Copies of this chain bind each other. A is one copy, B any other.
């Protein structure tokens, strides 16, 4: 199956449409997106392969997806820890963080040293709205993601990559290629530069919306909130 991609601009418009005429709340969408990420982690890295999942959360929606994923991972029996240095003042993010604190999930202050005692890293730093420079304190995170030998699952986009043109040509992030990627709702153009196992999550789009935005709803199986897609199934439009 050839999967069509969604530009950064189209992804932003889709999100807006889901929350306006689509009548979804951001709470709902983030819950289902984060849930799909947690299911992918369980699929590729079940707890018996190492339960220490380090989740790097950025300041925006991508980070929120990471917070939700960390909570579900905790319920699955993992021992997640969360790096969340730029806490949003937004009430939703504060609640998602509180839900983790109530589950005694550890928040770590130093990402680089936390990597040393992790089995798998979730990159929920930047999503489809990222462009330009990686701001402090995240350059050290990108550097650690580039250098680590651990499996890394990126949420929607490998952080630091341009949504359209993929990895930076040189410098920070240019050597970062995560082992797993979960595209939310639909792949973004950057997926053509991605070399790992590729999943799609976010099983909440109606056929009418998919048609309007000209992408295909993938063939989710059973009750799964995610589906794996072949590396050669993403074509450039």
Contacts and interface: CB of A to CB of B under 8 A. Distances in A.
- If over half of A's interface residues share one DSSP class (helix, strand or loop), that class is named, otherwise mixed; here it is helix
A101 to B, nearest CB: 9
Contacts of A42: 222-223
Contacts of A95: 23-25
Interface stretch (A114-122, A190-198, A203-211): A203-211
Q: How many copies of this protein are present in the complex?
A: 2
Interface in A20-47: 22-25, 27-28, 31-32, 35, 38-39, 42
Nearest to A206: B102
Interface in A86-100: 92, 94-96, 98-99
B209 A102 contact: yes
Contacts of A9: none
B204 A75 contact: yes
A23 B223 contact: no
A75 B25 CA distance: 18
Nearest to A205: B75
Contacts of A25: 25, 27, 92, 95
A23 B72 CA distance: 15
Given A102-B208, A206-B102, A206-B103, A76 B23 contact: no
Interface in A101-152: 102-103
A169 to B, nearest CB: 39
Contact of A32 (B31, B76, B206): B31
12 contacts: A23-B94, A23-B98, A23-B102, A24-B95, A25-B27, A27-B27, A28-B28, A31-B31, A42-B222, A102-B206, A103-B206, A103-B207
